[in-house]
Amino acid sequence: MLDLSLIKAITLDLDDTLWPVWPVIERAEQVLGDWLGWHAPLTAVVFADAAVRHALRQQFNQAHPEFGHDLSTQRREIIRLALQRCGENPQLAEPAFEVFFTERNRVTLFDDALPALAFLARRFPLVALSNGNADIGRVGLDAYFKASLSARQFGVGKPDPRIFHAAAQAAGVQPHEVLHVGDDAALDVLAALDCGMQTVWVNRSAAPWPHAAEPHLTVSTLAGLCTLFAA
């Protein structure tokens, strides 16, 4: 059970906690493919193959492991590699990535997300904590958050305890005073538990809990979390 008296700040995962991410990525890849079709048609044909994209990503990550948590750099540079392989202008990688990234931040929030953010932000400092590369400013949610930390910005991602500690520091509290909320059983719940935080598992699909250590609370929607603080 949660100890509500300890909670002074909330950290929130983004992808699949506030919005479903894979429809966003699939749409962004389609928009990118259409753009490449107009500006780099040979690359568009090659880049449409998921196996080729995977191979390019592996090639880049092997050559540049320092960008292992930087999804934006990875995406931009595999576009550049594809352009080079096809003999087309590698400088198109920058505008091509911007096309992708603009669409990547055009998300459709879960119905409960915006009311929950408004409710929680009135009561606690909120910090976004994500391994993804969504930009809460572009998404239009920055007004609800005191800070935002991503693996790309910080240099390491979840489950590394350093990013959780940095999020607590950004909120101006100690780790044991943080409630971390996210959908991933390992990267969110277990990792935050290891940092001494209280945790809420957002389980929208009614999946069974897969680990021995358990979250302090499981909810199917963020509305279920808000009811705890409604009194």
**Catalytic sites, residue numbers:** 13
Helix axes of 50-63 and 71-85: crossing angle, nearest 10 degrees: 110
Q: What are phi and psi of 198, to 5 degrees?
A: -80, 155
**174-199 exposure pattern, b = at least 16 Cβ within 10 A, e = fewer:** ebebbbbbbbbbebbbbbbbebebbb
- Euclidean distance between CA atoms 18 and 23, whole angstroms: 13
| Exposed/middle/buried for residue 136 (C-beta within 10 Å: 0-12, 13-18, 19+) | buried
How far apart are the two ends of the chain, measured CA to CA in Å? 17
